[in-house]
Amino acid sequence: MIKVVKFGGSSLASATQFAKVGNIIKADPERKFVVPSAPGKRNSKDTKVTDMLYACYDLAEAEKDFSKELKKIKERYEAIINGLHLTLSLDDEFKIIEENFKKKAGSQYAASRGEYLNGIIMANYLGYDFVDSAEVIIFNEDGSFDADTTDKLLGERLSKLENAVVPGFYGATLGGVVKTFSRGGSDITGSLVSKAVHATAYENWTDVSGFLIADPRIIDNPKPIKVITYRELRELSYMGASVLHEDSVFPVRKAGIPINIRNTNAPDDEGTWIVESTCHHPAYTITGIAGKKGFVSVNIDKDMMNAEVGFGRKVLSAFEENGINFEHMPSGIDTMTVFVHEPEFAAKEQAVISAINRNAHPDSIEIEADLALIAVVGRGMKSTRGTAGRIFSALAHANVNVKMIDQGSSELNIIIGVSDNDFDTAIKAIYDIFVTTQL
Amino acid sequence: MIKVVKFGGSSLASATQFAKVGNIIKADPERKFVVPSAPGKRNSKDTKVTDMLYACYDLAEAEKDFSKELKKIKERYEAIINGLHLTLSLDDEFKIIEENFKKKAGSQYAASRGEYLNGIIMANYLGYDFVDSAEVIIFNEDGSFDADTTDKLLGERLSKLENAVVPGFYGATLGGVVKTFSRGGSDITGSLVSKAVHATAYENWTDVSGFLIADPRIIDNPKPIKVITYRELRELSYMGASVLHEDSVFPVRKAGIPINIRNTNAPDDEGTWIVESTCHHPAYTITGIAGKKGFVSVNIDKDMMNAEVGFGRKVLSAFEENGINFEHMPSGIDTMTVFVHEPEFAAKEQAVISAINRNAHPDSIEIEADLALIAVVGRGMKSTRGTAGRIFSALAHANVNVKMIDQGSSELNIIIGVSDNDFDTAIKAIYDIFVTTQL
């Protein structure tokens, strides 16, 4: 049984945090492979080491003196080393970095040193082997990721080791040029390592106890989600919930490895399990609520529209011609409404309207702005009758005017349109009815 | 103030019915122009005169003896004349009809005689002028209706008369060839007369006291609708409610003339007013419920679908290529569902699926049959918060599984998808919550 553990920047920002991480790893002998991020912020006014590296390298590239800045970075690491009472010197490493900065080795190389150095410290602290990701995470010359070669090299290398530290965020071309992942960062590395070693679980340690049912900026102390499917996760993340980047879950999802989101500062919390599918009965009927503001509805009326083959296609073509993606298209009888993102639509509004008129000859077109869409997501909704009734009764009691409802046959989510002004109220009302009052 | 009154076949099936009609017309001096249908059934085993005429003419066209059949038709009219104690003979009229049948004047001519003769009796009974529709309702040679010429001739002729009877259902070309309306029949004539005389109201007298909130085959004694807009009417009729044909309301709708559906057998009932728009507060939050069975849902999943410009259009093209009209297209995140009519879809199912695969490359396509769509329609829904909540709570209590919800920005209707088996239960539950318990 092998677990891969990835730690985020705030989990590794200081010696104190490193010590917590050490305890977590040692508490479970299955936690054999460790993927560290670069040191994050120690407090809200602090700077992440990665950002310090970018700034420092900018000076190098401008052929200005960067010694003071590099020294400060070195001090961050030394504070961790000293705090952990390690006998480790990074002098040689920093000499190489200084030389490479002078040679203008690239900002991706510069940024990657945050994880690289943290990985060295982590390996020393744990007594684990250190594997430089530049040797096992492989990019093509054009900067795209080479999944097959990576899986092969990473698998071969790690199969020979009892345990190891593999720094996140970067890799290199076979020619040795360091490249970083553009989005998802160390989460992707953790996912790749998990796949390569056929892990039984990929633990992703952060500073929150898993995903929350709703946005904590709207709901006080929302409950965490215990188990969520990839599908539900994607739905919540699409609607604005802050979760793992798509690219970072892809390798483990393909391999069927569950992800466990954990909190370094509350290691006893179970966190959230992300799985392909599950018979785990959710704690509440709904798994999560998420939403986004800033939508526009384009409401199109035409007598006998429903009898006109191709009408919907003609309307949608008008949006497509202008490169605008539609979000939802609820329809009544002789009326259809197309929901689009306001920023995308605003500039092309008149072009789209004239295209609709040209393509589909509607009787009228009405536009309403400042709308929000809310997704109520949950695999438990399909088997629970009355979910829709509870949602809309709750919204009515909260005096929220429902402007759009969309629920297809998948029954995994209901999309609700409300005015931007009603957004928070609506989310609170839905959270309360399903979670606070535990219906 | 001019009212046009049109009477359906059952209102004019016998002398007893004629007398009721006479009382209705005389009760209001504004009822100046009368549009009669042909005599309908006097009881459930009876035959409509129009059907007797078709059968009789078929014999004539086959050059068989039709004298017995024509005599029976004459007897129907004579029973009315005698019952009303009129001194009117139709001998000459029937001689002409017999000659024209022998000349094979056409089945449209034959059918039109039902209204023509009833109009003559009605004019005699009321002491009104008789205007033969063949002179004022004008068709083109190809059988299409000539609205402009009709409006001109009809207006000129009726402006010279204090009151008149204009038989429904037929007109003629300027060359004198009798033509009939294919659908909507006498209702269209009434509508045309109303427009031509700038009527203040078009009273359409039938055997029901207006439109009902729900189908009486599902709901016992459903309440009538007092005021309905054309828009609402169209929505209910599209979803299967039996109402006036589209063509028959078009002329009065254009002219802004309200229609009043009344019951000849209960003339004190107010019936239903059909209007363009109204500030009349509806008696209930909903105006009506209607629905149809026999839909299929095609549920299409694709990861990241929402980020793909043109995805919806590609899917809809697959239906359009096969000449299939879609009814509704609710969408979630990474999922969309297309509702189509089962009879239309079944034969082309595999062609559509393969076109979807070819056009849009989805991850999966699932088909569910035996679904019903229910439209809850009402202009009062927009201003009443909580309508959706009440609907879905009612359905939950009735153990109806809601498979689809669609409500666009018009907020004039909510479309609900349920299994065919739940159709009646669902309509009952919605009727009860809004009408029986008067919420």
pLDDT per residue as tens digits for the range B178-227: 999 986 689 999 999 999 999 999 999 998 888 999 999 999 999 999 99
Which of B239, B394, B408 is closest, CB to CB, to A330? B408
- CB-CB contact of A122 with A149 (8 Å): no
Beta bridge partners of B172: B138, B178
Domain with CATH 3.40.1160.10 in chain A: 3-207
A206 is in an annotated binding site: yes
Contact across the interface for B409 and A393, Cβ inside 8 Å: no
Q: Is A245 touching B (CB cutoff 8 A)? A: no
- CB-CB contact of A255 with A198 (8 Å): yes
pLDDT: which is higher, B34 or A283: B34
B50 is in an annotated binding site: yes
Query: Which of B295, B285, B289, B358 shows the shortest CA–CA distance to B330?
Result: B295
pLDDT (0 to 100) of residue A213: 93
Chain B residue with minimum CA distance to A340:
B306
Q: Is B390 touching A (CB cutoff 8 A)? A: yes
Tell me the helices (H) and strands (E) count for chain A, helix number first: 14, 17
Triad B1, B7, B11: Cα angle to 5°: 135
A207 is in an annotated binding site: yes
Q: What is the average pLDDT value for chain A, to the nearest integer?
A: 92
pLDDT (0 to 100) of residue B47: 94
Domain with CATH 3.30.2130.10 in chain B: 288-436
pLDDT (0 to 100) of residue B304: 81
Contact across the interface for A231 and B334, Cβ inside 8 Å: yes
Q: Is A408 touching B (CB cutoff 8 A)? A: yes
B206 is in an annotated binding site: yes
- CB-CB contact of A43 with A16 (8 Å): no
Longest dimension (CA), chain A: 81
Contact across the interface for A331 and B393, Cβ inside 8 Å: no
Q: Which CATH superfamily is domain B288-436 in?
A: VC0802-like (3.30.2130.10)
Instruction: Please tell me chain A's helix, strand, coil percentages from 3-state DSSP, rounded to the nearest 5.
Output: 45, 20, 35
B115 is in an annotated binding site: yes
- Which chain A residues in 335-364 lie under 8 Å from chain B, judged by CB atoms? 335-337
From the CB of residue B295, how many other CB atoms can be counted at a distance below 10 Å? 23
Q: Is B145 touching A (CB cutoff 8 A)? A: no
Contact across the interface for B405 and A412, Cβ inside 8 Å: no
A76 is in an annotated binding site: no
Q: Is B238 touching A (CB cutoff 8 A)? A: yes
Contact across the interface for B299 and A327, Cβ inside 8 Å: no
Q: Is A283 touching B (CB cutoff 8 A)? A: no
Q: Is A144 touching B (CB cutoff 8 A)? A: no
pLDDT band at A183 (very low <50, low <70, confident <90, very high): low
Contact across the interface for A234 and B409, Cβ inside 8 Å: no
User: Burial, B248: exposed, middle or buried (Cβ in 10 Å; 0-12, 13-18, 19+)?
Assistant: buried
Q: Mutate one of A287, A410, A425, A433 to test the B interface: name it (highest B CB count within 10 A).
A: A410
Could you read off the pLDDT of A317-351 as tens digits, one per residue? Answer: 999 999 998 888 888 888 899 999 999 999 999 99
- State the pairing for strand pair A170-173/B227-229: unpaired
Residue B322 in tokens: 């096969």
Average the pLDDT over A277-282 and give the result. Answer: 80
* CA atoms within 13 Å, Cβ hemisphere of B160: 7
Burial A370-393 (b: 16+ CB within 10 A, else e): ebbbbbbbbbbbeebbbbbbbbbb
Q: What is the mean pLDDT of each run of 10 residues along chain B (439 residues)?
A: 95 96 96 97 94 96 96 97 96 97 95 97 97 97 93 96 97 96 86 96 92 93 91 83 75 90 94 87 88 94 84 92 90 89 92 94 93 93 84 92 85 90 97 86
Q: Is B324 touching A (CB cutoff 8 A)? A: yes
Average the pLDDT over A214-226 and give the result. Answer: 92
- Please report where in the chains the tokens 């919550």 appear, as a residue: B433
Q: Is B317 touching A (CB cutoff 8 A)? A: yes
From A312's Cα to the closest Cα of chain B, the distance in A is 7
Contact across the interface for A409 and B304, Cβ inside 8 Å: no
- All residues at 6 or more sequence positions from A331 whose CB lies less than 8 Å from its CB, including other chains: A312, A337, B327, B328, B329, B406, B408, B415
Q: Is B412 touching A (CB cutoff 8 A)? A: yes
- List the CATH code of the domain at A3-207: 3.40.1160.10
Kindly tell me if the per-residue pLDDT of A246 is higher than 80. no
From A436's Cα to the closest Cα of chain B, the distance in A is 19
Pure H helices in A27-106: 49-61, 67-83, 91-102
In whole angstroms, give the CA distance from residue B317 to residue A320: 13
3-state secondary structure of B401: coil
Contact across the interface for B396 and A389, Cβ inside 8 Å: yes
pLDDT (0 to 100) of residue B243: 66
Percent of chain A with pLDDT over 70: 99
- Which chain A residues in 21-80 lie under 8 Å from chain B, judged by CB atoms? none
pLDDT (0 to 100) of residue A245: 74
- Please report where in the chains the tokens 């939508």 appear, as a residue: A295
- CB-CB contact of B180 with B170 (8 Å): yes
- CB-CB contact of B292 with B426 (8 Å): no
Q: Is B292 touching A (CB cutoff 8 A)? A: no
Chain B residue with minimum CA distance to A405:
B407
Indicate left, alpha or beta for B423 from its phi (over 0: left) and psi (-120 to 50: alpha).
alpha
* Chain A residues in contact with B414 (beta carbon < 8 A): 405
3-state secondary structure of A273: strand
pLDDT: which is higher, A88 or B335: A88
- CB-CB contact of B378 with B214 (8 Å): no
Contact across the interface for A396 and B407, Cβ inside 8 Å: no
**DSSP designation for B145:** B
- CB-CB contact of B61 with B55 (8 Å): no
Kindly tell me if the per-residue pLDDT of A439 is higher than 60. no
Pure H helices in B256-307: none
B406 is in an annotated binding site: no
Q: Is A332 touching B (CB cutoff 8 A)? A: yes
Query: Which of B394, B392, B419 shows the shortest CA–CA distance to B405?
Result: B392
From A383's Cα to the closest Cα of chain B, the distance in A is 9
Instruction: Please tell me chain B's helix, strand, coil percentages from 3-state DSSP, rounded to the nearest 5.
Output: 45, 20, 35
pLDDT (0 to 100) of residue A184: 65
CA B83, chain centre distance (Å): 32
Q: Is A294 touching B (CB cutoff 8 A)? A: no
Helix A246-255 / helix A230-238 crossing angle, nearest 10 deg:
170
Kindly tell me if the per-residue pLDDT of A17 is higher than 70. yes
Which of B333, B388, B411 is closest, CB to CB, to A413? B333
Kindly tell me if the per-residue pLDDT of A34 is higher than 90. yes
Kindly tell me if the per-residue pLDDT of A192 is higher than 90. yes
